[in-house]
Chain A
Amino acid sequence: MAKILIELPQVGESVVEGVIDKWLKKPGDKVSKFDPLVEVVTDKVNMEVPSPYDGVITRILAQEGATIPMGAPIAELETSDPAALQAQPSSHSAPATVPTAPSTPNTIGTLVEDSLGVGPTGGGAGPNGQPSETPAGASVATEERFYSPIVMKLAKEHAIDLAQVKGTGMAGRVTKKDVLEYVESRPKAGVAAPARTPTPAPSTPTRPSADEEEVAVSPIRRTIAQHMARSAAEIPHAWAMIEADVTELVKRRQAVREDFKRREGVDLTALPFVIKAVVESLKEHPLLNSTWRDGKIILKKRINIGVAAAAPEGLVVPVIHDADAMSVARLNKAVRDLADRARQNKLTLADVQGGTFSVNNTGAIGTIISRPIINHPQAAILTTETIQKRPVVINDAITIRSMMNLCLSFDHRILDGAEVGTFLQSVKRKLERMGADTPLH
């Protein structure tokens, strides 16, 4: 038997930390390998951390609500699994490393002469002190370093691994200045390299008055809020709308609907037709499938369409990867699959990463016009609105047609009205051409 530490697993390149949402086990619980132990919320997706081995949970090291860096220990497990004993580094294998209360506590303590003080008046060299000789920037184990609140805050905002930052403060402490200089100097690479998040203007927190009620915010809600605020603050949004006559498309859908459902097992909606038109138009207008990064436009070679979906705790945007290689039927299936799994909280990290353009079917909630916020750092987002029958004028005659509005928010740093206009015309043309002979497969 040995006690081992369970770490928060690394789940993706751009994910540096997670919030412990809910423990499913408590100390003393027996667990089997792969039993879900804890629900963790990351800025991408919720996940369950499974137990790596059979055993008994002995301690919980990360409390609910705490933000934990990937790789940090979250619980202690007692196991006799030989694989565990081998896998665990020696420092963790001996039970002695787990501090427990001694049976007769020493209430007096020991006087350590020449130990280092803490705080602005402490510190400095001392023969028996802690590493006063630590040269600035020497590698200090993350657990041993103290980070001030502003350093933690900046690290979070800029997604920085503080272990990489050279400290120039007392005994090698990482100061606010060190972090800011690191942000300025670090190479600006990687999709996830976050742009500088504007620091919110300082404001005095207000308390709710008697006729108000404060609602605690879930980690997911907070993540959505941060994401939206960041997008709205960083991206100069512009907006355009176009209407498409989808009468023939509606007829096509009605004609094949029952048969499709019988054969494919799922309902055929209008959304995959729109996605089809969008991805084809994106190929013609690659500038809409791009991102603004460090003053440059980065074109994306893959077309991965994010589809906004309602999950129990809030909005998620799972991604249909390589949507340009899919038929209407496959797109339909992918949309349905992602939406179902979003509702059941079953999305994986891969499902929500790598989106290059987003589509949002606000028509499903009955809207006819909406102005979406761009899914940062993409260049644009398109909403499909409710299809409704309207009298329209064709060849100087009034006739009833099924009309749908398409609304597009776009990053005005990358795109101007002219390009957006031709893109929307392209989507419109493709949708209006869809009809009786549009292939489903």
Chain B
Amino acid sequence: MAAKSVIEAIREAMLEEMRADSRVMVLGEDVGKRGGVFLATQGFIEEFGEARVIDTPLAEASIAGISVGLAFKGLRPIAEIQFSDFWWPACNQIIGEASRAHYGSNGALSVPMVVRIPYGGGVLGGLYHSQSIEGYLYNTPGLKVITPATPYDAKGLLKASIRDNNPVIFLEHKKTYRAVRGEVPDGDYIIPIGVADVKRQGSDISLFSYGLTMHYSLEAAARLEKEGVSVEVVDLRTLRPLDKDTILASARKTGKVLIAHEANVIGGVGAEVAAIIAADAFEYLDAPIHRIGGPDAPGMAFAPTLESAYMLNPDKISAALRELAAY
């Protein structure tokens, strides 16, 4: 089995799906000749032609709107929004139309579209190329929100998303694109949407995370192991729907919970995870549920010092774990 990067796994998933199903197509800024700003669609236009690989103008509202229309007509578009920060113009089409069509038509309409959105910081992208937007998406019924952290998960989940009959927002952390490598089976496999993955077993503390910070969490857990604290790392993988069963089982097992995400803490996905555990696993808790994440700042700054102050890292997560372990 070959070791691949996250971006290679994503490219492979789309390539295989497009070869297998002629309804699948891609559209977005620079996805054609350029092969995508991160080269996710490199070589696609040569293989599938301009009808299935559409270079669009710099207009995210139209990328999303066209995708909704294509999906209504039975095609399976994969739209790429170059950076999550430019998702805002597409909001109305995605939240106002795509997320509601199935519900509003009493199931008569399906919207089988995927919106791939690179997100997150740590790449010196500054105020306009670094944000984590999952909190906004999270509050929208009708959308599925996926955040893979590993190449294996990325390929399996993207294939599941393309085959899903309603809108899926596929969030790819930019820093994981080339920084994370892992084994990816050749050929077809699916990872079901809505299933979290226990990436490391442990008995003292449950650490819930996703995306880039999942890797930092694993590193922190390995450090704590040497200090005699056993940390279970759960990769949420799918934020909506959240895998309540896995979350509750882990929290009940350990009795102590830390939730780590790069997005700012207030109103984030971690708040929901904390509320689920407080409601349904209260009797098993041995410490207050704790969250760690980005500060309440309007965005990630450009200055490297400020960016690293914003970002989580294994040091920060380890420190939070130690406090929880001592409680």
The residues of A with any CB-CB pair to B shorter than 8 Å are 119-121, 123, 148-153, 169-170, 173, 175-177, 202, 204-205
A-B contact pairs, 5 of them (CB 8 A): A121-B323, A149-B285, A173-B327, A202-B249, A204-B244
Contact B255 A150 (CB under 8 A): yes
B280 near A205 with CB under 8 A, answer yes
Partner among B282, B285, B286, B288 whose Cβ is within 8 Å of the Cβ of A119: B288
By the criterion CB–CB under 8 Å, are B286 and A151 in contact? yes
Say whether B326 faces chain A, with CB atoms less than 8 Å apart: yes
- How many whole Å from B34's CB to the nearest CB in chain A? 47
**In chain B, what residue has the closest Cβ to A148?**
B286
- A148 CA / B248 CA spacing, docked (Å): 17
In the assembled complex, the Cα of A148 lies from the Cα of B284 at a distance in Å of 8
Determine whether B11 belongs to the interface, using a CB cutoff of 8 Å to chain A: no
CB < 8 Å neighbour of A202 from B252, B288, B326: B252
Which residues of B (311-327) have their CB < 8 Å from a CB of A?
Answer: 320, 323-324, 326-327
B227 at the interface (CB under 8 A from A): no
A253 to chain B, nearest CB (A): 52
B306 an interface residue at 8 Å Cβ cutoff? no
Least CB distance, B224 to chain A, in whole angstroms: 14
CB of A170 within 8 A of CB of B327, answer yes
In the assembled complex, the Cα of A283 lies from the Cα of B163 at a distance in Å of: 73
Contact of A120 with B324 at beta-carbon distance under 8 Å, contacts A176-B255, A202-B252 already known: yes
A176 to B323, CA, bound (A): 16
Q: Are B326 and A169 in contact, with the CB atoms below 8 A? A: yes
A60 to B285 Cα, complex, angstroms: 29
Q: A155 CB to closest chain B CB, in angstroms?
A: 12
Q: Is B283 an interface residue (CB 8 A)?
A: yes
Interface class of chain B by DSSP? helix
The residue that A170 contacts in the complex, of B255, B290, B326, with Cβ under 8 A, is B326
Asked whether B287 is an interface residue with its Cβ less than 8 Å from the other chain, the reply is yes
Q: List, in ascending order, chain A residues with CB within 8 A of B286's CB.
A: 148-151, 175-176
Residue of A119, A150, A152, A153 near B327 (CB, 8 A) is A119
B231 to chain A, nearest CB (A): 14
Query: Contact residue range for chain B?
Result: 20 to 34
When the two chains form the complex, which single residue of A120, A151, A176, A204 contacts B320, counting CB atoms closer than 8 Å?
A120
Q: Which residues of A contact B204 (CB under 8 A)?
A: 177
Interchain CB contact (< 8 A) of A149 among B282, B324, B327 = B282
Once A120-B324, A176-B255, A202-B249 are accepted as A-B contacts, the answer to whether A150 and B284 lie under 8 Å apart by CB is yes
Are B255 and A148 closer than 8 Å at their CB atoms? yes
Partner of B287, one of A148, A152, A202: A148
Q: Which residues of B contact A153 (CB under 8 A)?
A: 283-284
Instruction: Flag whether B245 is at the interface (Cβ < 8 A).
Output: yes
Report the bound CA distance from A119 to B327 in whole Å: 7
Closest to B258 in A: A120
Contact with A along B230-271 (1 / 0, CB 8 A): 000000000000001100110010010000000000000000
B290 and chain A: residue at smallest CB distance: A120
Shortest distance in angstroms between A238's beta carbon and chain B's nearest beta carbon?
A: 33
B248 touching A204 by the CB < 8 A rule? Answer: yes
A204 adjacent to B255 (CB under 8 Å): no
- Closest B residue to A153 using CB positions: B283
Q: Which residue of A lies closest to B204 (CB)?
A: A177
In the assembled complex, the CB of A188 is this many whole angstroms from the nearest CB of chain B, namely: 24
Interface centre among B255, B320, B324, B327 (most CB of A within 10 A): B327
Q: How far is the CA of A173 from the CA of B323 in the complex (A)?
A: 14
Provide the residues of chain A in CB contact with B288, threshold 8 Å.
119-120
Q: Is the beta-carbon distance between B248 and A202 smaller than 8 angstroms?
A: yes
Distance (whole angstroms) from the CB of B244 to the closest CB of chain A: 6
Cα A285 to Cα B248 with chains together (Å): 49
> A173 to chain B: which residues have CB within 8 Å?
327
A120 touches B287 (CB 8 A): yes
Q: How far is the CA of A62 from the CA of B68 in the complex (A)?
A: 60
Among candidates A120, A148, A150, residue contacting B323 with C-beta atoms closer than 8 Å: A120
Chain B residues whose CB sits within 8 angstroms of the CB of A150 once the complex forms: 255, 283-286
Q: Which A residues are in CB contact (< 8 Å) with B248?
A: 202, 204
Q: Using CB atoms, name the residue of chain A closest to B281.
A: A202
Q: What 8 additional pairs, Cβ within 8 angstroms, besides A169-B327, A176-B286, A204-B280?
A: A120-B327, A123-B326, A148-B287, A150-B284, A170-B326, A175-B327, A202-B252, A202-B281
In the complex, A204 Cα to B249 Cα: how many Å?
9
Shortest Cβ gap from B116 to chain A (Å): 32
A365 to chain B, nearest CB (A): 36
Interface residues of B in 275-317 (CB under 8 A from A): 280-288, 290
What is the 8 Å Cβ interface bit string for chain B, positions 188-215, against chain A (1 contact, 0 not)? 0000000000000000100000000000
A145 to B255, CA, bound (A): 19
- Which residues of chain A come closer than 8 Å to B324, judged between CB atoms? 120
> What 1/0 flags go to B126-159 for Cβ under 8 Å of A?
0000000000000000000000000000000000
Q: How far in angstroms is the closest Cβ of chain A from B29?
A: 43
Nearest CB of chain B from residue A119's CB, rounded to whole Å = 5
Which residues of B, 8-22, contact A by the 8 Å Cβ criterion?
none
B244 in contact with A149 (CB, 8 Å) = no
Closest chain B residue to A152, Cβ basis: B283
* Residues on A with beta carbons closer than 8 Å to the beta carbon of B320: 120
CB contacts (< 8 Å) of A170 on chain B: these are: 326-327
Residues of A within 8 Å of B244, CB to CB, are 204
Q: Which 6 A-B pairs have the closest CB atoms?
A: A176-B286, A120-B323, A148-B286, A202-B252, A150-B286, A150-B255
Chain B residue at smallest Cβ distance from A151: B286
| Residue in A closest to B253 when the chains form the complex, CB atoms | A202
List, in ascending order, chain B residues with CB within 8 A of A176's CB: 255, 286
A contact residues around B327 at 8 Å (CB): 119-120, 123, 169-170, 173, 175
**Do residues B280 and A149 form an inter-chain contact, with CB atoms below 8 A?**
no
Given A149-B282, A150-B285: A204 touches B245 (CB 8 Å cut-off): yes
Q: B324's closest neighbor in chain A, by CB?
A: A120
Chain A residues with Cβ below 8 Å from B285 are 148-150
Q: Which residue of A lies closest to B288 (CB)?
A: A119
- Measured between C-beta atoms, what is the minimum distance from A126 to chain B in Å? 16
Residue of A nearest to B276 (CB): A204
